[in-house]
Structure 1
Amino acid sequence: MFPGSVVPSKLGTPRKRGAGCMNPAAQFMLRDKYGPVFTIYLGAQRAVVLWGYEAVKEALVDQAEEFGGREGLALVDRTSKGNGLFFSNGETWRQMRRFALSTLRNFGMGKRSIEERIQEEVRYLLEEFTKTEGMPLDPTFMLRRSVSNVICSVVFGARFSYEDEEFQTLLDLIQANFRRVDTIWVQFYNLFPAVMNHLPGPHNRLFENFEEQKRYVARVVRKHKETLDPSSPRDYTDAFLIRMQQEENDPDTKFHHENLILSSLDLFFAGTETTSTTLRYGLLILLKYPHVTERIQEEIERVIGQDRIPGMEDRSKMPYTDAVIHEIQRFADIIPLGVPHSVTRDTRFREYAIPKGTAIFPILHSVLHDPAQFEDPETFDPGHFLDEAGGFQKNAAFMPFSAGKRACPGEGLARMELFLYFTSILQRFALRSPARPQDLDITPEYHGFGKVPRGYQLQLVPR
């Protein structure tokens, strides 16, 4: 991901210099030479890489407090400025995370639950799929629009039609920045911000896009303020505005306009890109392995039937479907590098001394593909999450949402979405492809700091 230099894991004198050290292929070579804990230099910045389940778990879970900081890359420093949900630290992060978790967990506030909101959006998606009449389509647009409407309903209290141009512009801006993160211009910005701040180039478009995203959310917030009823909050934005009113006389409050804008954008991005990409990847995998699809549909017929929509109460009775969804997440490995952490104090880790503020890269790919935890990890196999009796079996190395204090706060929402979307689609449609299953390529393409499936055509034939 970034050019840099490599040193032994004891943070000593550089012994090897190279480029592309955050590239997964380069990481394998470094792990083989230096072990599961090693240091790289990103320009002048020192960072420690953690490889494999044991090292990542020991840091993020067993020493969660010490490894619970968020590394402030120059890109993030300029956009978030220490605010928001995902890239803040200290008291700001603690309060934003606690508020987000409680609001998402208890959402509905006497009205509709999150599950009902997902089911509603799934129905809209199924209607759009039905209109295709089994003709081949690229599912990217419909899946992104549908999933983004779920988080919109939670954060902004409304869904948008598939034809809403202003909303599509927001999605396009987010997608464009997601792809720009891994360009050489942005890499150099992270390494040399003092220089790049004064230079023209494509990296500046990323910041312009981000400001446009903030303006979009600010317009939504203004409308909420005009219609706010403190006794009846409609969504995350209302709940945040109410908290802002309650603490308006507190000079140290973390509930202010900038945190509302940035935490909303953080939730919107996380609730759109990763889930929609996982769904798109999962449908490709199910096309590749029709016997897996057939077995899921047999379980759907046995547990749910055709007379009602799937609900979360069904998941515990559908171990094979649950195992397939977990395996899709593990195999797809959407965010292979994870999100950088930092240590919050001088820390002893194994036999190493890590100074306060050191960047930490817990490589999630190395956990989800750890051969000590998953037999033949490069193969798609739902059996990774099934016991000998065919029941669902948890695996501690299942960390697509990371782990510890910095685990994704939207994990519960994402799990709910994946189950309801996959089961609802397979309840209504048979999956077909113009290509033969053996000709479908399920190896990923890299875009930005994540993975996406290769383009494909999907046919949805009513059952």
Structure 2
Amino acid sequence: MFVESLTSTTVLVFVTVLLLLRWLTRRPPHLPPGPVLFPLLGNLLSLGPDPRPVFRRLRKAHGDIFCVFICHRPVVVLNGYDVIRDAVVKNGDVFSNRPHSFFSDIINDNRGIMMTSGKMWKEQRTFALTTLREFGMGRSLLEEKIQEETEQFLNAVAARQEAPQDLKHLITNSVSNIICSIVFGRRFEYTDPRFVRYLEVTNENIENLQITGILQILPFLRHLPGDAFRLKKTVHNVDVVQDEFIEPMVQEHIDNYDEGDVNDFIAAYIKEMRHRQQQGETTMEVKTLLKVIMDLFVAGSETTSTAVRWVLALFLNYPDVQDRCFREIDTHIGVNRRPGMKDKVSLPYVEATIMETLRYCDIAPLAAPHCVARCTQFRGYTLPEGASVMVNLDSVLQDQGIWGDPQNFRPDRFLDSSGKVFKPEEFIPFSIGHRVCLGESLARMELFLFVTALVQTFHFTSPGQPPTLEGVLGLTYFPKPFEVIATART
């Protein structure tokens, strides 16, 4: 009798566990297909620190639209140019929202700002894009600012030439200073205490991202004692940037505001803010300006500095590409004057090399997360309101069907039969749609002026073996630390 009762209990427990596991690993029928789920964790453990290889396999298995689960949260992954364009361009009003982020929610709660979508986001973004365009994306003033900073950078490199050096910090200094010139109307000396402090805490947050990123997935871990995941340090560093670096510059502009002297982003914002406040309701205010400036520094510095470092890493691995770039520069410009934007048309191979770097190195492979604004039908699937969406740019930039041999670094793919630059519509390293990178035009100008001046001035060689072209995925996909020897060409 006891044995029979025990057997019945065992069977009941076994069936209950099976049913529970089935319930915990069920996939909602209306969502796109995807891999098998594990209880509680979903697909978290299978994605790894760099999910791109996993996404490539899942695309082959399930098609251009599949769904993975981060614990209990579904994430719809869009692959392929046609699908991505259909979502973020043709249906941009639905797919342009940002999902709630653990970090942004904490930081925004501290600042009383939430600017991921809606009227505030639209008003701020429209103003930023319009103002940056008016300040001269392609105009001589902005070009002069970039050239001035480039010269400072070249001088700093020259001071240590012939010795192996890691140029990461110098590149970051220069690119950040260009943003300072646009936003603040001034640059900083590399030794300026405020500027040094800003760079220190920003770099620290970027380096901490792989640890703090765990909290994005498992936010309850923040309640553990101490600061094992460096959340408190990260939030503190953000406060340092805003309180000690950005806010004093904004206050200085307010105190010395002259409506007739609008020559930087802050002054333009103050002028427009006061005008709109007089007209009626607006989301433009000082605390919002602080957030916009923070976004400009992130959008305008990290991607560009990472791209310049990748260019150097590729030059060390492909010296023939570096030599061909220099021959083109030497033929059309020489070495006695710095290149300008007017020279771009004469340097198609240099431009093609930059484009191929952005494609090959896949600097922002997963873009920033999106979410759908309302429940929507998309290509046969029902996506609920607020569903997270990942735009997999890697699936386009590394698509064999588009590029033929995407695994090869080959700048000539961007040159037509007459040697002129050819830009396929699938070339989208800055994404597309309403959420296209805010700093794209600036980044393109910076990269052209930086790279041409670098190649014109120095010949770069490796002190040992060329650096690996396997990078690290963080805020961007960046190269591992490496050293170069910069030898003056004259």
TM-score normalised to structure 1 length? 0.91
CA distance in 2, matches of 1:86, 1:420: 36
Aligned pair 1:36/2:57, yes or no?
no
> Structure 1 residues 73 and 116 mapped into 2: Cα distance closer, same or farther (>3 Å)?
same
2: distance between equivalents of 1:230 and 1:194? 49
2:31 corresponds to: 11
Please, which of 428, 431, 454 is the counterpart of residue 480 of structure 2? 454
Query: Which of 126, 129, 133 is equivalent to 1:105?
Result: 133
SS at match of 1:206: helix
Find the aligned partners of 1:296 and 1:68 in 2 and give their Cα distance.
38
Structure 1 match to 2:277: 248
1 CA distance for matches of 2:358 and 2:86?
22
Alignment of 1:230-245 (within 5 A): 230-245=259-274
Structure 1 residue 393 and structure 2 residue 418: aligned? Answer: no
Provide the rounded CA distance (Å) in 2 between the counterparts of 1:434 and 1:9: 56
SS in 1 for 2:94: coil
In structure 2, what is the Cα distance between the partners aligned to 1:6 and 1:293?
Answer: 53
Q: Once the 2 structures are TM-superposed, how far is the Cα of residue 89 of structure 1 from its aligned partner? A: 0.5
Match of 1:351 in 2: 380
CA separation of 1:355 and 1:315: change in aligned 2, threshold 3 A: same
Superposition deviation, residue 11 in structure 1: 1.1
Are the equivalent residues in 1 in contact too, given 2:352–2:411 (CA < 8 A)?
yes
Deviations 1:311-344 (A, max 9, x none): 1111122211111000011111112221001112
Q: Distance in 1 between matches of 2:482 and 2:455?
A: 18
Tell me if 1:442 matches 2:469. yes
- The residue type paired with residue 168 of structure 1 is V
Q: Which residue of 2 aligns with 1:380?
A: 409
Out of 322, 341, 350, the position equivalent to 2:351 is 322
* Residues 94 and 173 (structure 1), Cα distance of their counterparts in 2 relative to 1, 3 Å cut: same
Worse-superposed segment, 52-61 or 211-220: 52-61
CA deviation vs aligned residue, 1:317-372 (integer Å, no higher than 9, x gap):
22111110000111111122210011122222111111222111001122211111
The residue type paired with residue 472 of structure 2 is: E
Report if the CA contact (8 A) 2:33-2:66 is conserved: no
2:284 aligns to what SS in structure 1?
coil
Q: Which stretch shifts more, 82-91 or 293-302?
A: 82-91
Q: Tell me the residue number matched to 2:455.
A: 426
Instruction: Output the CA distance in 1 between the equivalents of 2:251 and 2:75.
Output: 41
Q: Which amino acid aligns with 2:256?
A: T
The residue aligned with 1:408 is: 437
Contact 1:72-1:87 at 8 Å conserved across structures: no
Q: Between the two proteins, what is the percent identity of the paired residues?
A: 33
Q: Distance in 2 between matches of 1:454 and 1:47?
A: 29
Cα distance in 1 for residues equivalent to 2:178 and 2:461: 26
The one-letter code sitting in structure 1 at the alignment partner of 2:355 is H
- Alignment-derived partner of residue 93 in structure 1: 121
CA distance in 2, matches of 1:268, 1:411: 13
Instruction: Identify which of 174, 181, 199 aligns with 1:153.
Output: 181
Deviations 1:33-67 (A, max 9, x none): 22211112223322211122222222122222221
Question: In 2, are the aligned partners of 1:345 and 1:355 still within 8 Å (CA)?
Answer: yes
How do 1:359-378 residues align onto structure 2 when only pairs under 5 Å count?
Answer: 359-378=388-407
Whole-angstrom CA distance in 1 between matches of 2:388 and 2:25: 14
- Contact preservation (8 Å) 1:47, 1:359: yes
1:115 is aligned to: 143
Q: Shift in Å at residue 277 of structure 1?
A: 1.0
User: Which amino acid counterpart does residue 56 of structure 1 have in structure 2?
Assistant: I
C-alpha change, 1:108 and 1:314, in structure 2 (3 Å) is: closer
Is this contact kept in 1: 2:32–2:76, CA < 8 A? no
Decide which of 157, 180, 190 is 2:216's aligned counterpart: 190
* AA partner of residue 37 (structure 2): K
Query: Partner of 2:254 in structure 1?
Result: 225
Task: Structure 1: give runs of 5+ residues left out of the alignment.
Answer: none
Contact 1:364-1:399 within 8 A present in 2 as well:
yes
Once superposed, what is the RMSD of the aligned Cα atoms? Answer: 2.6
SS at 1:392 equivalent = coil
User: Residue 294 in 1 paired to residue 323 in 2?
Assistant: yes
Counterpart-to-counterpart distance in 1, 2:203 and 2:88: 29
Q: Report Cα offsets for 1:212-240 as digits up to 9, x if no partner.
A: 11112111111111211111113111111
Counterpart Cα distance in 2 of 1:231 and 1:137: 45
Relative distance call for 1:130 and 1:281 in structure 2 (3 A) is same
Superposed, 1:268-347 pairs within 5 Å as: 268-347=297-376
Q: Judge conservation of contact 1:9–1:34 (CA < 8 Å) in 2.
A: no
Compared CA separation, residues 429 and 85, structure 1 to 2 (3 A): farther
Cα distance, 1:8 vs. partner?
7.8
The Cα shift of 1:77 comes to 1.6
Three-state SS of the structure 1 residue aligned to 2:176 is: helix
Which shifted more, 48-57 or 138-147?
48-57
**Counterpart residue type for residue 195 of structure 2:** F
Which whole-Å CA distance do the structure 2 matches of 1:119 and 1:135 have between them? 25
| Aligned counterparts of 1:152 and 1:127: Cα–Cα separation in 2 | 19
- Listed as ranges, the gaps of 5+ residues in structure 2 are 1-23
Superposition deviation, residue 196 in structure 1? 2.8
Greater C-alpha radius of gyration: 2
CA distance in 2, matches of 1:312, 1:6: 56
The farther-off stretch of 194-203 and 251-260 is 194-203
Q: Once the 2 structures are TM-superposed, how far is the Cα of residue 78 of structure 1 from its aligned partner?
A: 1.7
Q: For residues 87-131 of structure 1, what are the alpha-carbon distances to aligned partners after superposition, in whole Å with 9 as ceiling and x for unaligned? A: 52111111111111111111169x961111101111111111221
The one-letter amino acid paired with 2:181 is S
Letter in 1 for 2:96: G
